Homo-oligomer: A and B are copies of this chain.
Amino acid sequence: MSVSMREIAKIANVSSATVSRVINCSNLVTPETTERVRKIIQDLNFVPNNSAIHLKNGKSQIYGIIIPDLTNPFFTETIKIFEELLVENDKELLVANTDFHSTRTQKSVRRMLLRRVDGVALLTSEFEAAPLESLVQNRIPVVTTDHYRTGSGMSDIVVDFAEGMAQIVSHLKSLDHHNLGFIGGTEGLVTSRVRRESFLDAVVKQGLSSREGWIVEGDFKIEGGSAAMAKILSQPELPTAIVTANDLTAIGALRTAHARGLRIPQDISITGCDDIAMADIVYPPLTTLEISRKEYARLLFEALRVGTEDVMRAGKQYTLPTRLVVRQSTGPAPSTEKPRQRRSR
């Protein structure tokens, strides 16, 4: 099909070994020979076949990334930086999207195995670790997020929600909020549980309160946020501020609130999490927790790089800090009795 090294070799009147040496910049070749071979490579537009290289030396130079939602800017922004890191290091990126389905996660893992990727970054945190076993078994390093488990060849990046939620709650407390609601992520994901528990922890520790009907499940997407907000608003009494599991959820909540005629933040404060670009664009701009995509991508790469060097090394746990970003979706608590009565519309 396309040109091979042997053809180059034939034309240049050398052996394929010499051509290989030229390509890999071995210093065992005469400058003249190098020059001649280089020219022919140029002329014929020769590009080496990566599969052959892979087959020979066992490294595919491809990393895989498995994410739950390709339309969530937090992930695409992370992927973008991760991809840049890989390209800088002459590696390639395979993207798999799961839409939060565990069957699709399993299929994705299988795809990664098929392509013999050099490492897998798992940005989703389903409970089942089953498919990960097969990766480790095939000596492919893995880095997970909020998985709270490490092992041989398995690292984990933990987002510091404990600290983050504490900051959010503290910020709301300083604005005189006492009754907080929470819209979480999809049930069944470790990361959802962690976010919710971190929130509750902070609420209790700081002496504020929440209650059953104010804590609702979402799906990490706008729709889920909208629906969850509607549920909360159907309660007889309302919290003065609502903390959410991510920015998309917050945006959905914002939307429902607007539709019901609530003013943000005068009537109710809402916070997000992630600090996606959109957070600063919606109305009103979201108070949220920044999670640095740059740092995240860097940690993912670092964890896999270390893992690739020594597959059997025990994985490490990395911590990803958060930073409170205050914008206009939070404001002083409305000065009515607490918990205040539901507004009649």
On A, residues with C-beta under 8 Å from B are 1-2, 45, 47-52, 54-55, 58, 60, 70-71, 73, 76-77, 79-80, 83-84, 87, 92-97, 107, 110-111, 113-116, 134, 137-139, 222, 251, 255, 258, 277-278, 281-283
Contact = CB atoms under 8 A, between A and B. Distances in A.
B87 A111 contact: yes
Contacts of A51: 50-52, 54-55, 60, 116
Given A49-B55, A93-B94, A111-B92, A71 B60 contact: no
Contacts of A94: 92-94
B48 A114 contact: yes
A92 B84 CA distance: 19
Given A76-B71, A114-B48, A95 B93 contact: yes
Contacts of A116: 2, 49-51
Contact of A71 (B47, B73, B134): B73
A334 to B, nearest CB: 22
A47 B107 CA distance: 13
Contacts of A277: 71, 222
Given A1-B139, A73-B73, A50 B115 contact: yes
A253 to B, nearest CB: 12
A195 B155 CA distance: 48
A111 B87 CA distance: 9
A70 B48 CA distance: 28
A114 B55 contact: no
B55 A52 contact: yes
A52 B55 CA distance: 6
A115 B92 contact: yes
Given A2-B139, A49-B55, A83-B97, 17 more contacts: A1-B139, A2-B138, A45-B134, A47-B114, A50-B51, A51-B52, A70-B76, A70-B80, A70-B83, A71-B76, A71-B80, A80-B97, A87-B107, A92-B111, A93-B94, A222-B277, A255-B281
24 contacts: A1-B58, A1-B138, A2-B138, A45-B134, A47-B110, A50-B115, A50-B116, A51-B55, A70-B80, A71-B76, A71-B80, A73-B73, A76-B76, A79-B95, A83-B95, A83-B96, A83-B97, A84-B97, A92-B111, A95-B95, A251-B281, A281-B282, A282-B282, A282-B283
Contacts of A96: 83, 87
Contacts of A107: 87
B1 A281 contact: no
A45 B251 CA distance: 44
Nearest to A3: B138
A47 B80 contact: no
Nearest to A284: B283
Contacts of A278: 278
A137 B281 CA distance: 45
Given A80-B71, A95-B83, A97-B80, A138 B47 contact: yes
Contact of A50 (B52, B83, B114, B137): B114
A293 B94 CA distance: 21
